[in-house]
Amino acid sequence: MTRDPKHSDAPSRPRGYEQVDRLSIPLPHGTEVTTRVERLAGERRIPQGVVGRVARARDGGFDIQIVGVGELWYARDELVPRKPGQLQFALRRAATWDALRPCVVLETVVGSQAWGLANEASDVDMRGVFALPLPWHFGLADKAKDLVSADGSHTFWEVSKAVEQALRADPNTLETLFVPSARATDALGEWLLAEREAFVSKAIFGSFGRYAMSQLDKLTRSQRLAEHRDLVLAWLCEEPAPSLDEVSQRLAAISPRTAPSPEDALLAAKTYLKQLYRSLWDQGLIESNDFAALTRYARGGGQRPPSARELRPKNAYNLLRLVVLATGWLKDGVPTFEVSGAMKARLLEIKSGQVPLEDVLRDAEALAPELEEAHRTSTLPAFPDYGRADRLLRRVGEELARRWVLKEPGPLGRDAPAPPAVEDKEDAP
């Protein structure tokens, strides 16, 4: 748990932001904040002025991840952004969202809603594409490439970024373009949908299939490590506390993984321990990314975060779904996003946490030969059509210029939002 040594209810503001009410600033996911009130976590008192990070918006307030404590809920008026640079970022992000949301030309409901795997607890996530009005392309101010809602559920990419991602066979971008719910809200969006086949190639074998297989393997290794976590924490509470080498030797002796030699088993155990404290550090549960911090966490009563296991089934079922999607797309030449039949039942079992990760990996490995064969025999082009994509972007650019010059009605012409003013770089974080 970290106290902000400079904490006050009226910390300094960067030049030009002196009159901004810090309690009215949006707090996007991941923002570092300082608390303005005390809290009780069980019988533990969490003082005012503690530094945390926004985990999610909920019930009119925010769940805040605090190092060494876990997640606590705070109302909006009980939090302020920790750094002046975060104040600037939050205001810029909110202002960009408000200004450019009308410039969205394509939007798609994605995620479990699009895959036929949603339940009553599923969120509605949306991705899409927006176009920058012509004046936003000039000047020194950074060009907006992303629009993200405050709660992170809506993400839109600027049209050139979307095209570049699609040419790399990025799964999120291709899904946005090909899911049946994709809806054009402007002629520019219609052009994107009309040209989307230009982005399809055998590259989805790697970006979808091979990527998913490698991530499933990483998830399984992480799960094996998590199964030993409580045991490792108990060892670290012994007197005297064992060293990294001592814990590694104990872990290597009980690990179910086979290794070519005792030295390899010891190296794997050390790697697992480093992954453990890196994971805790990433979650904000320890103050530094090292073994000493892990030891302090254990001796301070650190326990598994409640959400750690809940996240893995969701990741696993989505990765297995990517393997199935890539196989079908390579084989048939067209994508099928909504799953059905036995595969749907299996994915729902995985999503609900009923299937061990090792079994999910075995499912994926069983699908690997079919994926390889689909890639070998696929009639999809080896590469995307770069020329067609280039012509599309040039056409979009010419249309944006035409609407602005002729002052056509709409957010990309006469009614375009004013571009942002450039900010002094000396005030940047």
Q: What is the pLDDT of residues 349-368, one digit of tens each?
A: 888 888 877 788 788 889 88
Residues 313 and 189 in one domain: no
Q: Are 427 and 14 in contact (CB under 8 A)?
A: yes
Q: What's the pLDDT tens digit per position in 49-102?
A: 888 888 888 888 888 988 767 789 999 889 988 776 666 677 778 889 999 999
Q: Within a domain: residue 238? A: yes
pLDDT at 47: 87
Residues 388 and 368 in one domain: no
Residues 366 and 245 in one domain: yes
pLDDT at 170: 93
Nearest-angstrom CA–CA distance, 291 and 284: 15
Helix axes 291-299, 262-282, angle to 10 degrees: 70
Residues 192 and 236 in one domain: no
Residues 120 and 59 in one domain: no
CATH number of the domain that residue 68 is part of = 2.30.30
pLDDT at 422: 79
Residues 317 and 376 in one domain: yes
Average pLDDT, the chain: 84
Domain count, the chain: 3
Residues 207 and 349 in one domain: yes
Residues 242 and 356 in one domain: yes
Asked if the peptide bond before residue 240 counts as cis, ω within 30 degrees of 0, the response is yes
Residues 398 and 249 in one domain: no
Residues 310 and 245 in one domain: yes
Asked if the model's pLDDT at residue 21 lies above 70, the reply is no
pLDDT at 185: 97
Q: Are 189 and 150 in contact (CB under 8 A)?
A: no
| Type of residue at 379 | T
Domain that holds residue 374: 202-380
Q: Within a domain: residue 422? A: no
Residues 372 and 389 in one domain: no
If phi over 0 gives left and psi between -120 and 50 gives alpha, with beta otherwise, what is residue 253? alpha
Bridge partners of residue 57, in order along the sequence? 62
Q: The pTM is what?
A: 0.70
Would you state the structure tokens that stand for residue 123, as one six-digit string?
């969120």
Asked if the model's pLDDT at residue 151 lies above 60, the reply is yes
* Least confident range of 182-191, 200-209, 298-307: 298-307
Asked if the model's pLDDT at residue 288 lies above 50, the reply is yes
Residues 161 and 62 in one domain: no
Q: What's the pLDDT tens digit per position in 218-271?
A: 777 666 666 677 788 889 999 999 999 999 999 888 876 667 888 888 888 888
CA distances from 148 to 181, 182, 281 (A): 20, 18, 26
Q: Are 7 and 55 in contact (CB under 8 A)?
A: no
Averaged over 175-199, what is the pLDDT?
97
Asked if the model's pLDDT at residue 305 lies above 80, the reply is no
